Amino acid sequence: MINKQVWFITGAGRGMGVDIAKAALSAGHAVVATGRNGTWGNSALGAHDDLLTSS
């Protein structure tokens, strides 16, 4: 069984939120990321199987 942590990150559209989300994804964790503007989507974080974005 794979034990994967899920991170919920607010403010992931820019700044430290992007850095934290990228670090969690590169460590093999799943990320649910939200941002203020609905158009930021995968442009800030890129496409990833373990990433769910929302505005």
Q: What token pair was written down for 4?
A: 């994967």
* β-pairing verdict for 30-34 and 6-9: parallel
Residue 50 and residue 35: Cα distance in Å, rounded? 17
Q: What is the pLDDT of residue 41?
A: 59
Q: What is the pLDDT of residue 1?
A: 47
Q: Can you give the pTM of this predicted structure?
A: 0.81
Q: What is the pLDDT of residue 54?
A: 78
Residue ranges of the domains in the chain?
9-44
Q: What is the pLDDT of residue 45?
A: 83
Q: In what order do the strands lie in the sheet with 6-9?
A: 6-9, 30-34, 51-54
DSSP class of residue 38 equals T
Q: What is the pLDDT of residue 38?
A: 63
What is the residue-level pLDDT of the chain in tens, covering all 55 positions? 477 899 999 988 888 999 999 999 999 999 999 887 766 656 778 888 999 887 6
